[in-house]
Structure 1
Amino acid sequence: MFCIIDEIWSLRLSNGGSRCDGRVEVYDNGRWGRVQDSAWNINDSNVVCRELGCGSAIFAYNSSRYGESELPVWVNHVHCEGNESQLRNCSTFTLNQTSSDSIGVGVLCSDHLQLRLSGGGSTCAGRVEIYYNGSWGTVCDDSWDLDDANVVCGQLGCGYAVEDKIPGFCGRSKGQIWLDEVRCSGNESYLWNCPSAPWGRHDCSHKEDVTVKCSEHKEMRLVNGGRRCEGRVEVWYNGTWGTVCSEKLYREEAEVICKQLECGPLAYIEYRAWIYGQGSGPIWIDEMKCSSHESALWQCQFDPWGKHNCDHREDAGVSCKELRKKPPSTAVVVCTTLGILLIAEFVALVIIARRQSARRDAELRARGFGFYEAIYEEIDDTLPGNKFSQMDDSISGSIDSMNQIEYYTSDPLGCAHSTSELPEGTSSSVRDLVPDDHDDPESKAIDCPGGQFSTDGGADDLLMLTVAGGDVDIGGESSMIPCFQSLA
């Protein structure tokens, strides 16, 4: 309790989080009494905050926020303009009234400060957050060290700091960053008593939010069991992991363990380290006695931390049934959400990139690039290599469609010559078209590789000629045609 006292008048805010937050009470005639007013507003609250040196009023409350008081009613029907220096200077101010037609009042002032650790699994671990000026905000880690963390742990009654930053802590805060460049000596009672930049002035983001783990932070886990709800019982205390002695571990104690880990009902207890193995380090808990209604194992009765009369061969193990439910941890939820958002952002970028590419292609086609591509394709189709390929396809198609009589084969040199024999598989209809007295063109000379091909017959008698590597001399005339490489 904090108050302003003189011989006649005293004022305080009680049952709140600090001297600048709580139910309004006055001291008169040697006793504390309460203030009641059905029309209490922000102007009245501003006068109270100013009188107490607590800045300005953020909220005006009725007493339901802070609980009803059993004190007598000393003041009611208050009406302030808001610029008065003391509450007793307000008009229609009445003392020693026992009227019950109004309600108790409360005030939250801007200089009300609170400190907490959030998202770390207990009140003694997590992100450092300060309540100031009506909202929760964080602390930037510029210049932050173990001395600063020790002040936080001491202020919260959490012992001393074992880590000034929690490795792998996931989850960012929103809202204000209240403090930056904090430099504590380690002896301060409150974090805001340490030298720092002015409230709300900083040059960092929530990526640099401070986290702290204190010695009084406690955690539990099951290890070496193959799944989360089965294994050797281990407890984090005083900055290290230790085990639990199974000597007095009965069903009630094991059920508390399963409940604390948010697992299903107890399946069985392992009293020896045969299945889950022996632990190492301290044996933190021995001689337990639980009623099974506790929410955490350290709420049960047991010997002082670290005092025991067993060894690691008696390390306790527990098997609980799995229980499907939402994660126990705010940090897990935040990490999962951030991961999903990153994936969604990546997919959106891919979609945008594809749409932009399609839009560019459409613009190029609109500018005529599609027309030029068609021209390039037509030119490519008329190149010599392609022409011969098309010619070969055309000739083959003609043979099939017109039932050509003569069949040409290639000799080992790659030249083609005619034969009256038809290949196997030729239909009888084709054979019937060939007369028995049909004469093949008579070849007078074949000197294909680099030479000439002469014949007495006319060129009209040949249905197809394919030779390689020279010229062709047809008849007795000096008609010379190229001798092309066989395409067969």
Structure 2
Amino acid sequence: MGDVACTGGETELSQCPHRGFVSNKCSHNDDAGVVCEALSPVRLVNSADRCSGRVELFHNGEWGTVCDDEWDMDNADVLCRQLGCGRARATPHNAAFGEGTGPIWLDDVNCFGSEPSITDCRHNGFGNHNCGHHEDASVVCELRDQEVEVNQFICGQDKIQVGLNMLTVSFSGLDPLSGHLVDRDCIKSRVEDNIVWYEVEPREGICGNSMRTNSTHFTYTNSLFLYAHNTNSFSVPASLPFSCVYSLDLDTGLNADIRPLVPTGGIISSGGPPRGVMSLYRDQSYTSTYPSGSVSLPVGQPLYVGVTVEEKDVTFAAVLDHCYATYSSDPNDQKRQYLIQNKCSTDLQQVSVVESGTSLRARFTALLFVPHGEYRTFYLHCHLHLCSPGPCVPVCSRRAPRSVSEDVRIQPLTIGPITCE
């Protein structure tokens, strides 16, 4: 078939207008593909997100509910896993998400917790129950990540556009107007009919776009980052990676695809001068550092940076003065992007000073983004000093930082190189 032109309401592909069987002007390099969403026999309804709500099963062509008799966390773990959500957090009883309608399909469900599907657990048989809909079971699962529903996605010749339903995004706890691309300065958006559109030119290096090619196609990849509502504090954003695939044969038009690929982080090694050591840690506990060598971190995820000063006098406290990124290993490089300046975070959404001025160690967390949207190797530098007697915690609210004595200057510390790909 060639030139198939369905309206969407047909029940079979052959019902759509087309040139006739075997009548076409194509070759197999024009073969069509499709990606469909799988229909699940279980769903959660009456909630703001897909991982919580009233439990419903599809059986014999009809959706029905589950009775909450014997409904427990083992049952919920199976259901959450079946839905692709995180761990079960709660099992509300008594129709906590509203009473359902139709049949009550299952009662006295008893799972071990390892079953692949809720219907594989022990129960009384489909339709056998002694319940009413006021006993409909519910479950609350963790979201694996903050999830964003894409309303429309367009790979055009002049711009790539990502459209998000503002209401749906708001229900997920995110601010639909807070988005930016890998380059944080790229925030171009518009609102039309309750859809917020973010856009970027399909060019390498623009707004942090990366490009890869093969013998037939070239692909631009970026990510959209959204933040929680009404927050001026440090928070990890939800990320929405997207890619556009274009044919190298421009005469045939555009081929587009969404590929959930996060632009990977870079190669990071750690080190420091004799009086102090700055290291990159694996998580917010700041207990385990990455070994020497390389490590990959995804764009938009936190960098946990810690400084330890080799000083026996514990009355001193290490104070972070300035921390910044440069494209060279020279801490005196004037082309820099500040994370901490004058002892305080430059952007409370992006950088959190966890500890400064209380002990011989200092710590901060920063979101990893590509500086200036350029996928180039860069380094992190920190200037700090020892204050005595401690504590000497800077006050970083709307008031100016408190003046602290600067008894001992510490040689600038550097970690890197860091390469984002």
TM-score, normalised to structure 1, is 0.31
> Does 1 or 2 have the higher relative contact order (CA < 8 Å, sep 6+)?
2
Greater share of strand: 2
Please state which structure has a larger fraction of its residues in helix. Answer: 1
TM-score scaled by length of structure 2: 0.35
Larger CA Rg, structure 1 vs 2: 1
